[in-house]
Amino acid sequence: MRLAGHGDRVPPIALRALSRSPGQRVSGSLSAPNSHQPRQCSEASGSITLRALTPLRISALSTESEWQPVARPTVAVITTNYNHARYLPESIGAVLAQTRIPDEYLLIDDASTDGSRAVMASLTAGRPWIRILHNDRNLGVIPSANRALAETSCDYVFFLSADDRLAPAFIERSLSLLERHPSAAICSALTDAIDVDGRPLGVFGSAVVASADSWLSPRDAREALLRYGVWVWGNTTVIRRDALIELGGLRAELGSRADGALHVLLPLRYGACFIPAPLASFRVVQDSYSQHERRDPVQYQRVEQQLLALLRAAGEIVPAEYIQNRQRLLSLQTAYDAALLREAGILFGGSSRPLTTLGRRLRTDLTLLGLLWRYRAAWWADRQRTRRVRATLGRAGIRPEDTYS
């Protein structure tokens, strides 16, 4: 669930930029000293219960004034791993190098066969705030993540992929913003992309919904969702644990879209924080969890339909227009996949009706072109935002030509 921006102008929706006094400035430095000592989180329940969503009316949404700040909130980092031993030194090293180290770090190995357990043990020895969990058999990403989630009771959780990286100030900057806005259930930032060998590909294209570290109310999040789509990147997302538990944790039936559901529902229910700076790097690989799922059109459509059903069940807080647009795009993708399958049958099955199939394919493509024409203004605005943000990043030391989109 990719870079757009607003230059020096805060968008017209009612975003509240983080106010700072000289002694309260959130540091973006990557070399700040680590003065935070991990705190032991209270004993966890040990289980996550999947429950149905309670539909909410917009008028029932809470406001920031109803929430009390949490003094020194705790945070747990969770990493699930399956046969990623080659990347573990980078991801674990990134956590150990944080300017604000987490209070807990849970590593869960999903029955790897490449020596991952030994790598984990050697890299984390002597650090009691790090726990290593092992699955006796391969359970998959979502069940493993939920197992680790049930093992912690920290105020916030962050799911770090075994092959991703973090900027040293990621946790410090995210927690500083969340501490000031305790009603927010989620905080995200921009992300860099790297290839399989760790070479930088630049800043990945994504909507920038604020030009400074900001809090979006649920109403602001609703307007931003309609204007930009989902702006949250999972590899930069710190989540309030109680809000995640209320949704039943990560839902296995949604597969690689499990975090995507959170990226829609949490901002709309509780509001969100946003940092317009790249604070993490995700690795672009062909054998990723989401890529495997996307290669199976039937599985992809099933998961998307379940996600749409979940969003509808959330009540009126999810804009009907957003659900309708997502359903239209899924229908177009389904028709497109079906056309490709029919063409494959002609090419390899010797069908004598290529013109009929070609006509269906053209109708599908024309429908897609019609949708693209309808949203041409939004596409052009997105391109303009991308140029402005790349220029801003360039002034911060990131070359615009290095951005990845």
| 185-210 confidence digits (pLDDT tens) | 999 999 999 988 889 888 877 789 99
How is residue 379 written in tokens? Answer: 């596409």
Tell me what pLDDT residue 286 has.
65
Secondary structure E strands in 168-257 = 186-194, 200-203, 214-216, 238-240
Which of 6, 58, 1, 54 lies closest to 218, judged by CA? 58
How is residue 352 written in tokens? Answer: 């004598």
Return the DSSP state at 208: -
Measured CA to CA, the distance from residue 20 to residue 215 in angstroms comes to 13
Q: What is the dihedral of CA 45, 49, 54, 59, to 10 degrees?
A: 30
**Residue pointed to by tokens 């919904």:** 209
Report the DSSP beta bridge partners of residue 133.
Answer: 108
Tell me what pLDDT residue 302 has.
87
Element at 81 (helix H, strand E):
strand 75-81
Element at 109 (helix H, strand E):
strand 104-109
Secondary structure E strands in 195-316 = 200-203, 214-216, 238-240, 272-283
Residue ranges of the chain with per-residue pLDDT less than 70? 1-36, 42-70, 286-296, 336-405
Which of 248, 190, 214, 208 lies closest to 48, judged by CA? 248
Secondary structure E strands in 259-380 = 272-283
Are the C-beta atoms of residues 276 and 247 closer than 8 Å to each other?
Answer: no
Phi/psi for 175 (5° steps) reads -70, -35
**Residue pointed to by tokens 């801003």:** 392
**Radius of gyration in angstroms for the set of CA atoms belonging to the chain, rounded to a whole number:** 22
Q: What is the dihedral of CA 307, 313, 319, 320, to 10 degrees?
A: 90
Tell me what pLDDT residue 31 has.
35
Q: How far apart are the first and last CA of the chain?
A: 14
Tell me what pLDDT residue 331 has.
79
Return the DSSP state at 204: B
**Residue pointed to by tokens 């690989």:** 285
Tell me what pLDDT residue 370 has.
57
Q: What is the pLDDT of residues 252-304, one digit of tens each?
A: 888 888 899 999 999 999 999 999 999 999 898 766 555 555 566 777 888 88
Tell me what pLDDT residue 252 has.
87
Tell me what pLDDT residue 388 has.
58
Are the C-beta atoms of residues 264 and 189 closer than 8 Å to each other?
Answer: no
Tell me what pLDDT residue 366 has.
55
Q: What are the sequence ranges of the domains in the chain? A: 16-311
* Secondary structure class of 404 (helix, strand, coil): strand
Tell me what pLDDT residue 207 has.
85
**Residue pointed to by tokens 């009929």:** 356
Which of 240, 216, 314 lies closest to 75, judged by CA? 240
Instruction: Name the architecture of domain 16-311.
Output: Alpha-Beta Complex (3.90)
- CA distances to 45, 236, 374 from 279, in Å: 31, 7, 34
Are the C-beta atoms of residues 53 and 314 closer than 8 Å to each other?
Answer: yes
Are the C-beta atoms of residues 52 and 45 closer than 8 Å to each other?
Answer: no
Which of 168, 148, 158, 145 lies closest to 75, judged by CA? 158
- CA distances to 144, 203, 224, 374 from 380, in Å: 41, 20, 17, 12
